[in-house]
Structure 1
């Protein structure tokens, strides 16, 4: 299996790292290209051993999968640039937020196209990925896509109309958690812990809770920790007074709305 990554930012790198680390792909079967940043491509080549797409574009013609991993504003130019070098057997796999399958197919014709929204936890094999595909994607290609994406984490097949919600929850979600971790650390320091101790405690708290979430219902876990009139109950009460769930709801709603807006901008 050969993959060409068109776009070489953090998402592409996370996926490349995950594929190689999980041994689902060999570095020699992965090629990278971008609009103009050759230094970035050289860095990926040095770090992972992947190839850089050459001027003749033979890597594109031989590819089984073309990963689109650029900013939404660059999709049209990228597709225009590569479309004459695509074979009819290549599956276009886009991880670009908001840009629809229809928009992509308008540039490449009736090639099989899939949209996925992984997150950067792909780098450690823990991505939460949603995927949708067009009618041109065969059952065999669907199987290959599942294998490719499941090698970097869990995969949930959804209708394309649900991908904006997937983007808001899973695609952007790690940033919300990192922000929460930042806030927890700052609060710990404000309450007397050293920054080093605060970070250590917060990291382990998140790691342990993440493991626990795999085994029980979220609300059940919360209730088990929350003794009546105890310290946790006092903390939860503060979150409720400040409408924590409402804040999270607005966060996801606004992220999903932005994904929808990106789709409208690049139709």
Structure 2
């Protein structure tokens, strides 16, 4: 019986586990979770999902054919020490931001089958936009299996690893940009005297509806915007203010800077790992 093991028991690990069990991709008895010291958290997950938990990551690695690294990135070395000898013919899936496949190879060896995944926090409601990239030793069957895992919590796209920094800046950090926009809309609503609960519902539904329109329409966001903007109307008046304030350029710079920071973090982790091994 194939098993999947999670090293790390945080919110992302739980979101994936919940999706896998809900979709019937894995049964509870096929899921194992380990973390370093928080036995209360492991007990909580075991009770909620009926899964096996352990603080022995070597035991987890021995039993699992898929090993998901879901600890904090700074804990990657401590979280993987002792399991290097247990990964032969197994798939390693990393959801650790900023940890490159090359860095993973330094930990597990050049022959390891490694997939990097970049989900986002909307995984907790099964609406993640996830991108994955694979090392050369990953088989097509393993890629398809990994895509199935992440499709349980949203959508999943295969990209080259060189594109993952861009994915991080776009969809990895993207929910925060939308929340930032919602914050501004809430403040405007308050200043105009709208009830806060009413405003929140209206904003949420507006963002949800616009997102569904983008997803379901073959029209570009630019076209959809123009269709809402009647000449000399209310929407056009608002859009002109955004243009005058340079909001589009600011958002473009925001995504690009997030992408750059992802690359910086990747380099920092790789340098630190090399230094610790020298």
TM-score when normalising by structure 2 = 0.90
The answer to whether the 8 Å contact 1:4/1:65 transfers is: yes
Match of 1:248 in 2: 251
**1-side partners of 2:70 and 2:37: how far apart?**
14
**1-side partners of 2:51 and 2:254: how far apart?**
37
The answer to whether the 8 Å contact 1:5/1:12 transfers is: yes
Offset, 1:213: 1.1
Match of 1:189 in 2: 190
Q: 1:194 to 1:44 in 2, by over 3 A?
A: same
- For each residue in 1:109-150, what CA deviation from the matched residue of structure 2 results, as whole angstroms up to 9, or x when unmatched? 122001010112223322111111011111221221122222
**1-side partners of 2:171 and 2:89: how far apart?**
30
Offset, 1:54: 4.8
The answer to whether the 8 Å contact 1:67/1:95 transfers is: yes
Q: How does 1:174-185 map to 2 (within 5 A)?
A: 174-185=175-186
**1-side partners of 2:21 and 2:196: how far apart?**
35
Determine if the alignment matches structure 1 residue 224 to structure 2 residue 231. no
Query: What SS class does the counterpart of residue 133 from structure 2 fall into?
Result: strand
Query: What SS class does the counterpart of residue 214 from structure 1 fall into?
Result: helix
The answer to whether the 8 Å contact 1:72/1:262 transfers is: no
Match of 2:155 in 1: 154
Query: What SS class does the counterpart of residue 229 from structure 1 fall into?
Result: coil
Query: What SS class does the counterpart of residue 83 from structure 2 fall into?
Result: helix
**1-side partners of 2:48 and 2:236: how far apart?**
47
Q: 1:25 to 1:56 in 2, by over 3 A?
A: closer
The answer to whether the 8 Å contact 2:36/2:55 transfers is: no
**1-side partners of 2:84 and 2:208: how far apart?**
43
Aligned length: 266
Relative contact order (alpha carbons < 8 A, sep ≥ 6): 1 or 2 greater? 1
The answer to whether the 8 Å contact 1:6/1:69 transfers is: yes
Offset, 1:56: 7.8
Match of 1:95 in 2: 95
Query: What SS class does the counterpart of residue 88 from structure 2 fall into?
Result: coil
The answer to whether the 8 Å contact 2:42/2:54 transfers is: no
Q: Which moved more, 1:19-28 or 1:89-98?
A: 19-28
**1-side partners of 2:222 and 2:71: how far apart?**
37
Match of 2:261 in 1: 258
Match of 1:55 in 2: 56
**2-side partners of 1:55 and 1:154: how far apart?**
32
TM-score when normalising by structure 1 = 0.94
